[in-house]
Amino acid sequence: MARQEGIIKLNGRIGDLTFYKTRNGYLAREKGGVDASRIANDPRYLRTRENMAEFGRATKAGKFLRLAFKVLTNQLADKAVTNRLMKEMLKVIQADSVNERGLRMVLDAETELLTGFEFNIKAPISTTINVVYETAIDRVTGVLSIDFPGFSARDLINAPQGATHFRISAAGAALNFEEEVFQLNTSESDMIDVKAIDVAAVALSAQIPAASTNPLFLLLGISFYQRVNGFDYPLSNGAYNGLSLVQIQGV
Percent of the chain with pLDDT over 70: 86
Residue 114's nearest CA partner among 77, 71, 69 is 69
pLDDT tens digit sequence for 201-228: 999 999 999 999 999 999 999 999 999 9
Residues of CATH 2.60.40 domain(s) within the chain? 125-249
Percent of the chain with pLDDT over 90: 75
Q: What is the pLDDT of residue 149?
A: 98
Q: What is the pLDDT of residue 238?
A: 84
pLDDT tens digit sequence for 74-119: 888 788 999 999 999 999 999 999 999 999 999 999 999 999 999 9
Q: What is the pLDDT of residue 13?
A: 64
DSSP-assigned letter for residue 242 = E
pLDDT in 10s for each residue of the chain, 251 residues: 445 455 555 565 666 566 666 766 766 665 656 677 776 777 777 788 888 999 999 999 999 999 999 999 988 878 899 999 999 999 999 999 999 999 999 999 999 999 999 999 999 999 999 999 999 999 999 999 999 999 999 999 999 999 999 999 999 999 999 999 999 999 999 999 999 999 999 999 999 999 999 999 999 999 999 999 999 999 988 889 999 999 999 98
Q: What is the pLDDT of residue 28?
A: 65
| Global confidence as pTM | 0.84
Q: What is the pLDDT of residue 89?
A: 95
CA separation (Å) from 74 to 36, 81, 108, 138, 194?
Answer: 37, 12, 26, 28, 23
State the amino acid at position 52 in one-letter form.
M
Q: What is the pLDDT of residue 68?
A: 95
Q: Does domain 125-249 have CATH number 3.30.1490?
A: no
* 3-state SS, one letter per residue, for 170-204: EEEEEEECCCCEEEEEEEECCCEECCCCCECCEEE
CA 32, 86, 211: angle at the middle one, nearest 5? 150
Phi, psi torsion values for 41, nearest 5 degrees: -125, -25
Residues sharing a CB contact under 8 Å with residue 138, sequence separation 6 or more, in sequence order: 144, 145
β-strand partners of 22: 25
